[in-house]
Amino acid sequence: MKRVLVALPVLGLLTALTACSGGSGTDGPIKVGTINGVTGLFQTPEVPQAVKAVFEEVNKAGGINGRKIELISKDDAMNPQRSTEAARDLIDSEEVVALVGSSSAVDCGLNRATYSKSQIVSIPAVGVDPACFTSPNIAPVNPGPFKLLTAMLYYASETLKRDKVCLAFTVLPGSGGGIDAAIKEWSDITGKTLTVKDTSVGQGDPTPYLVKLKGAGCQAVIYNAQVGPWFAQAKTQGMQDVDFILMANAYTDANAALIPAGMNAQAGTEWQPYTDETLPGNDRWAKIVNDNKIQKTAFSQGGVMAADVFVQVLKTIKGDITRESVTKAFKEMQPITYPMVGTPWVFGPGQTHNPIEGSRFVKAENGKWTVLPEGFIVPKRNG
């Protein structure tokens, strides 16, 4: 009996605690978290800035049901310990209702279990590691490396009509299986196979790889490693007639300037190429980044899109906006058509999420990227 008496107040305290968690109350601001690399090796400070700018626009227009959206941004500097602490802090102390616009390279892999356990959804602006696309509570707004690879292979064999398609990749630990699956998807759609598949490209002199690709007669090479030395040596080896197709991470102003004249370099982008603000959907993004003086990068497009789809789903919620109701709304939502990407975005009830597919291509010309006229290449749709 005595034990029950002691246990009762503890139980009461626990109930009070659980009642508090799971959302930031029903009045006051709607708290939203984001984890990004603002310092460190992989820096994307423009992403939280873009998300914040969208939320401020919503707040100026009166907020959601009269409540303002407050963004709490954490810098994890690509440091695993800081990343897990950031997630814990946002979920337990700040009691955010969702994570929107994360772009840390380590967040998904480290925090996926925390998100599932806390029954909170994360809508990253940029899904970097494979875990971003294979977790029940994470759905990024970019195609990610694997869907992008399928689109790039499809572009090489079907759009450019190259017979000998080769792959020269550097593989991050844990993504080998995803790459094989992406190649298989392309083979299933087109019935074609790779002429050379080399996933051992790393640092060091690229010449031995280039010579091997040249010897095999590769006409298109899908590539994802260092840009400068690769193209400098490809030029030396006389590979001007080969179409080199780069992953989205190479689509930066600095890289366009690295490609020597006469070399064929194209890159698959994840959103409408940011270097042309007149493309469908880019006007919306350009307005946000221009008005708020945010750096123009593809990542900032992800920031705007993640914030936009979040606000759209938030508006569909009837009743209180809590972590529980937000998670429910995302799991039951209808697909949203967003012109900056190739396919509609949806969260949905699945155990894995990779809603965005396809890629649009740009070509390096005179040290700048120019957008190619074909729209989004979406293998399933086109195939």
Partner 1 sequence: MLDSVVAGLTSGGVYALLGLCVVLTYRLVAVVNFAMAAVGAMGAFVMVTLTDAGLNVWLALPLGALAGGLVSALLGLGLVRWFGEHGLRTKAAVTVAVFVALMSVGLRLFGNNTSGARRFPQPFDAPAFTVGEVVVPQAVLVSLSFAVLITVGVGLLLGRTRVGLRLQALSERPATAQVVGIPAPRLALAVWVAIGAVSTLVIVLVAPRLGGDFSTLGNLVTTALAVAMVGAFSSLWLTLAGGLLLGCLEGVTASLEAVQQYRGVLPFLVMVALLWWRSRHQVWDSEANV
| Residue 117 burial (CB count, 10 A) | 10
Rounded distance, CA 383 to CA 116, Å?
A: 35
Rounded distance, CA 108 to CA 135, Å?
A: 8
Judged by CB under 8 A, which of 18, 93, 203, 351 binds partner 1?
Answer: 203
Could you tell me the two tokens for 334? 């209808």
**Under the criterion CB under 8 A, does residue 236 sit at the interface with partner 1?**
yes
Strand partners, 36: 75
Min CB(53)–partner 1 separation in Å = 21
By beta-carbon proximity to partner 1, the closer residue of 209 and 361 is 209
Judged by CB under 8 A, which of 59, 207, 312, 382 binds partner 1?
Answer: 207
The pairing of beta strand 360-365 with beta strand 264-269: antiparallel
Per-residue mark of binding to partner 1, 26-55 (x: CB under 8 A): ---------------xxx------------
Evaluate whether 275 touches 301 at the Cβ level (below 8 Å): no
Rounded distance, CA 13 to CA 238, Å?
A: 74
The H or E element containing residue 360 is: strand 360-365
By beta-carbon proximity to partner 1, the closer residue of 45 and 130 is 45
Evaluate whether 78 touches 36 at the Cβ level (below 8 Å): no
Evaluate whether 207 touches 237 at the Cβ level (below 8 Å): yes
Min CB(304)–partner 1 separation in Å = 20
Binding range to partner 1, per CB under 8 A, among 52-60, 121-129, 132-140, 206-214: 206-214
By beta-carbon proximity to partner 1, the closer residue of 105 and 288 is 105
Amino acid at 10: V
Min CB(257)–partner 1 separation in Å = 6
**Under the criterion CB under 8 A, does residue 80 sit at the interface with partner 1?**
no
Within residues 117-176, the interface with partner 1 by CB under 8 A covers: none
By beta-carbon proximity to partner 1, the closer residue of 59 and 226 is 226
**Under the criterion CB under 8 A, does residue 255 sit at the interface with partner 1?**
yes
**Under the criterion CB under 8 A, does residue 79 sit at the interface with partner 1?**
no
**Under the criterion CB under 8 A, does residue 57 sit at the interface with partner 1?**
no
Judged by CB under 8 A, which of 28, 62, 202, 335 binds partner 1?
Answer: 202
Size of residue set near partner 1 by CB under 8 A: 36
Residue with tokens 């109350």: 25
For residue 269, give every residue at least 6 positions away whose Cβ sits within 8 Å of its Cβ, in sequence order, or none. Answer: 248, 251, 298, 359, 360, 361, 362
Sheet architecture: strand order including 220-223: 196-198, 165-168, 220-223, 243-246, 264-269, 360-365, 368-371
Within residues 287-316, the interface with partner 1 by CB under 8 A covers: none
Judged by CB under 8 A, which of 10, 17, 19, 254 binds partner 1?
Answer: 254
Min CB(229)–partner 1 separation in Å = 5
Min CB(319)–partner 1 separation in Å = 44
Binding range to partner 1, per CB under 8 A, among 65-73, 80-88, 106-114, 235-243: 235-243
Within residues 208-227, the interface with partner 1 by CB under 8 A covers: 208-212, 214-215, 226-227
Helix residue spans in the chain (DSSP H): 2-20, 46-60, 80-88, 107-117, 144-154, 176-190, 207-215, 228-236, 253-256, 282-291, 298-315, 323-331, 379-382
Residues that bind partner 1 (CB under 8 A): 41-43, 198-200, 202-212, 214-215, 226-229, 232-233, 235-238, 249, 252, 254-255, 257-258, 260
